[in-house]
């Protein structure tokens, strides 16, 4: 298990966040989470990591992210339910997009918008995912 700080140890990323969109990445595999953090930070995001649903809820309450990316090793129906619970239990505005990476259930390369500003994507490559995140982060509501 990787070292995501306890909520009591976390401090909001307010200063850094003013210049760059804050992206909350929910990923349960340490190596993947760290790789995503590195790539997305280089792409202009301030990145906060959470390793599972409850971490994401707690971190979203603390940080108020501009965008949420969920990439967990669970099935599509469970991913949609997880996205909705994270939004509801952390009080993330419906203006904030939640992007869910699906490993199955939709064709490769597909992007599907569900209700409640939730997007399912099964990217061909990381550039497709990065393009969707960019479109949502820089065209979404400004704080």
Domain ranges of the chain: 14-139
Assess if CATH 3.40.50.2300 describes domain 14-139: yes
> Tens digits of per-residue pLDDT, 82-116?
999 999 999 888 889 999 887 777 767 777 877 77
Question: What is the C-alpha separation between 17 and 142, in angstroms, rounded?
Answer: 12
Cβ-contact 122, 102 below 8 angstroms: yes
Question: Helix or strand or coil: residue 44?
Answer: coil
> Tens digits of per-residue pLDDT, 50-93?
999 999 999 999 999 999 999 888 877 788 889 999 999 998 88
Bridge partners (DSSP) listed for residue 100: 70, 120
> Tens digits of per-residue pLDDT, 2-22?
554 444 444 444 444 457 899
Report how many helices (DSSP H) and strands (DSSP E) the chain contains, helices first. Answer: 5, 6
């Amino acid at each position: 298990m990787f070292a995501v700080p306890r909520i009591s140890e976390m401090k909001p990323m307010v200063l850094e966040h003013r210049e760059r969109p804050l992206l909350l990445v929910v990923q349960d595999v340490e190596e993947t989470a760290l790789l995503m953090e590195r790539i997305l930070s280089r792409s202009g995001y301030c990145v906060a990591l959470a390793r599972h649903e409850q971490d994401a809820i707690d971190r979203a309450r603390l940080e108020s992210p501009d965008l949420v990316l969920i990439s967990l090793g669970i099935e599509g129906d469970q991913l949609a339910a997880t996205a909705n619970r994270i939004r509801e239990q952390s009080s993330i505005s419906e203006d904030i997009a939640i992007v869910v990476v699906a490993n199955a259930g939709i064709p490769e390369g597909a992007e599907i918008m569900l209700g409640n500003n939730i997007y399912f994507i099964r990217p061909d490559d990381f550039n497709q995912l990065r393009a969707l995140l960019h479109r949502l982060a820089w065209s979404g509501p400004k704080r």
